[in-house]
Amino acid sequence: MLNCFVMTIFPDIVSNFLNQSMIKKSQSIVNYNVVNIRDFADPPQFQVDDSPFGGGEGMIFKPEPIFRAYDNIMKNLEPGKTVKFVFPTPDAPLFNHESAVSLSETDNLIFLCGHYKGIDQRIRDEIITDEYSVGDFVLTGGELPACLIIDATIRLIPGVLNNYKSATSDSFFSDLLDGPHYTRPEKYRNLKVPDVLLSGHHKKIEDWHNKMREEKTKEVRPDIWKKYKR
């Protein structure tokens, strides 16, 4: 069973996400733990941030509560199992499908949800193993990026989705975007399902899907298309 820990100062945001849809159903396969960073801060204020050395705008996540929370997690993990400590942050490589595959093959995942101006660099230097950006923009906290990464990762674990083959046909799984899909009724508001999908000819249907995926990728993501055609 995969262990997934999320370190945050807003545990309700993460808990609400983990109790919805397929993520909730995956709890028989994934052991989720939401860790409140403030529980590891010094009383009585339980302060988790402080001003930066050298001056500057904003506040910085203090190292002590995060190191303590991390140590508490690590001491309870089974020895010899793989661990990745993930920090979503704008100043990192973009998270993609390959990243999700890599994380899905790990025994223990720990996520740190950042806030304020940033986190003390010693945290990043000493215990963070993987850093990802979810796009060229900045959010008010790391909870949403962490949930996004968890969702993209967990759905790749066999047994999480009702139909694992559905995940293997998604965008990026085979270096192409996904193509169009249709369901009943065959005709709606004079809009008709392509005849080939009604033909029952599996090879023609497969060829059509591949063609549509190639056309979609070429049109909307020429960067992916260029890599695919190498």
| Mean pLDDT on 167-172 | 54
pLDDT of residue 33: 99
**What are 74-118's pLDDT values in tens digits?**
999 999 999 999 999 999 999 999 999 999 999 999 999 999 999
Does 182 lie in the same domain as 144?
no
Domain limits at 179?
172-228
161: phi then psi, degrees, rounded to nearest 5: -85, 150
Does 180 lie in the same domain as 89?
no
User: Does residue 162 register a pLDDT over 70?
Assistant: no
Of all residues in the chain, the percent with pLDDT exceeding 70 is: 94
C-alpha to C-alpha distance for 171 and 177, rounded to whole angstroms: 4
Q: Which residue has the tokens 């001003």?
A: 51
- Burial (CB < 10 A; 0-12, 13-18, 19+), residue 137, is exposed
N- to C-terminal Cα separation, the chain:
38
Does 23 lie in the same domain as 79?
yes
Token pair for residue 55?
């001056």
Does 129 lie in the same domain as 180?
no
Does 100 lie in the same domain as 177?
no
Does 149 lie in the same domain as 182?
no
